[in-house]
Amino acid sequence: MSKNLTKKILVTGATGQIGSELVPELKKIYGKENVVLGIHKRKNVDDLEDSPSTVIDVTNKNLIEDAVQEFDIDTIYHLAAILSAAGEKDPWLAWKVNIDGTYNVLEVAREKKLVKVFCPSSIAAFGPDTPRVNTPQITVMNPKTMYGLSKVTGELLANYYFYKFNVDVRGLRYPGIISNKTLPGGGTTDYAVEIFYEAIKNKKYVCFLKSDTVLPMMYMPDCIKATLNLMDAEIQSLRYHSDYNVAAMSFSPDDLFKEILKIIPDFKIYYNPDHRQKIADSWPQSLDDSSARKDWGWKPDFTLSEMVKDMINVLSKKITI
Ligand code: AKB
């Protein structure tokens, strides 16, 4: 169980929102030939050109085993998942992908004696009985969505594999992640990405959450930093494994709107809350991440206003109106 042994990495969900930005960073650190993209369905993605890739359905353990064997993998970043809103539409699929998929990855890690595994959790692991402000590292969970339930199960299972089988598995409770490369899909925090595209393209956005719904969020560069720093941390310093709270910023749609307005003064927002409001209302508003700060030096770089400036700057160049 040593960080120095990571030589060949498999990333499941490699072309998703987080995967598409984590993969280039991993390639910089480990070399492009040493990062294998596990993709569910083949797509035309720039990153596929210079890295090995393989089709992986995480519900099929044989495919994970074959990939580990073929590419001599020693570390897996397991990012493939069905998010909260999509999971409520098809809870059966969410169970299969999130629970069976994580179990399969952990089993392969145990059998093949992998060096390390990253299995992310989410703020969705908490529920309406959880203290919502400054949510502690250890507290009541009781999530009400299938996604949340699968994330708590994943945390518990991963911790079990650590203590029972010595599998070095680590994970973060990701807040809503804001990014400008690949769109998220099927999440409750997706509004915080969509809003930028609509503000730049159409100068108006209809938000599916209420104006005062505060949720924890994080800009992608901080998400990548947190992921890599946790995976790089000395194992002796970790008091937790698959379930670290990490925080960067908390805001409501109205807070975000006001910040965008400073740069796009004719932007308008309208509110039409839908089924995702109930999910958001069951999640924390802010997290206590003092354990992550103490154990492996976590500290975010981006504030709300810095994130908004950067998002608008990058997307304005990318979006042709
Ligand atoms: C979602 O909204 O489902 C995700 C998450 C918070 O895990 N972005």
pLDDT digits (tens, 9 = 90+) for 58-99: 999 999 999 999 999 999 999 999 999 999 999 999 999 999
What whole-number distance in Å separates Cα of residue 60 and Cα of residue 72?
19
- Spell out which residues line ligand 1, taking CB within 6 angstroms: 83-84, 122-124, 147, 174, 176, 187-189
Q: How far is the CA of 122 from the centre of ligand 1 (A)?
A: 7
Q: Please name the fold of domain 8-176+218-245.
A: Rossmann fold (3.40.50)
Residue bearing the CA closest to ligand 1, atom 8: 176
Residue bearing the CA closest to ligand 1, atom 7: 122
Report the residue among 147, 214, 223 best suited for mutation to probe ligand 1: largest number of ligand atoms under 8 A from its CB.
147
Beta strands at 121-122 and 249-251: parallel, antiparallel or unpaired: unpaired
Please give the pLDDT value at position 40: 87
**DSSP character for 4?**
G
Please give the pLDDT value at position 68: 98
User: Quick one: average pLDDT of 163-169?
Assistant: 98
Q: How far is the CA of 65 from the centre of ligand 1 (A)?
A: 28
Number of the ligand 1 atom closest to the C-alpha atom of 188: 2
Identify whether 147 is a catalytic site residue: yes
Confidence of residue 51 (pLDDT cuts 50, 70, 90): confident
DSSP letters for 199-240:
HHHTSEEEESS-TT--EEEEEHHHHHHHHHHHHHS-GGG-S-
Tell me where in the chain the CATH 3.90.25 domain(s) lie: 179-217+249-285+301-318
Digit-coded pLDDT (tens) for 242-300: 999 999 999 999 999 999 999 999 999 999 999 999 999 999 999 999 999 999 999 99
What whole-number distance in Å separates Cα of residue 172 and Cα of residue 154?
11
Number of the ligand 1 atom closest to the C-alpha atom of 86: 3
Q: How far is the CA of 163 from the centre of ligand 1 (A)?
A: 28
Q: How confident is the prediction for the chain on average, in pLDDT? A: 95
Q: How far is the CA of 214 from the centre of ligand 1 (A)?
A: 14
User: Quick one: average pLDDT of 198-213?
Assistant: 98
Tell me where in the chain the CATH 3.40.50.720 domain(s) lie: 8-176+218-245
To the nearest whole percent, how much of the chain has pLDDT over 90?
93
On the question of pLDDT at 38 being above 60, the answer is yes
Please give the pLDDT value at position 5: 83
CATH architecture of 179-217+249-285+301-318: Alpha-Beta Complex (3.90)
